[in-house]
Amino acid sequence: MDLDIEKEETAISLQKQLEKNTNLLLDYLGCFYVKTKKGYHVYLLTDELLPNQLIYHVDKFGKKRIIGSIQSKGKYVVGFDSKDKKLVEKGRWFWHVKDLEQVKAKLGKFFIEVGNKGQNIENKFLELQQELRKKQTEQAVPLSHLNQNINHGQLKQAKANIQAKILSKYKTPLPHL
């Protein structure tokens, strides 16, 4: 597991908070880890091969920031004897976990989530889809208004309104036109 705390785009105050949370996490895990220039490497020993995943920090406003990754299948993991690395010896050699769910549960206690970009995009898509449905129901035209007699000028104006709605991101409530 690779945790990168120090990033240029991350505010110093957030970096300090991430450092504090990460140190609490590492103390909680009670295993060896490697201190790097940007963060930490924690070696996991698992009963099953974990998928490659991104690691997010979730702040008090619900904003997710990528702070690392779980590097597994097909990834190159740097050892502790590399340049600018320092092995910190605490307790066990590895963080031993059964599966990805156990990793997610432990990291969740420290405001850290595990997932992949596809899941994050899919969740955002579902949220936007729900928001769009809500707005559509708010803008829906009652059927009683559709059966009224209207003249040519009113029809032309209604068509212009419908065209504007079609070009917008909101679905028109009159699909037959």
Q: Are 35 and 85 in contact (CB under 8 A)?
A: yes
pLDDT at 32: 92
pTM of the model as a whole: 0.59
pLDDT 10s digits, 132-159: 777 766 665 555 555 555 566 666 666 6
- In the chain, % of residues over pLDDT 70: 67
pLDDT-derived band at 8, boundaries 50, 70, 90: confident
Tell me which DSSP letter residue 72 carries. -
Tokens of 146: 């559709």
Kind plus residue range of the DSSP H or E element containing 165: helix 152-167
Is pLDDT of 53 > 70?
Answer: yes
Is pLDDT of 125 > 80?
Answer: no
As a whole number of Å, the end-to-end CA separation of the chain is: 55
pLDDT-derived band at 165, boundaries 50, 70, 90: very low
Distance of CA 83 to the CA centre of its chain: 31
Least confident stretch, 33-42, 74-83, 109-118, 132-141 = 132-141
pLDDT at 161: 60
Domain residue extents for the chain? 2-117, 132-177
What is the rounded CA–CA span in Å between residue 89 and residue 63?
33
Rg (CA), the chain: 26
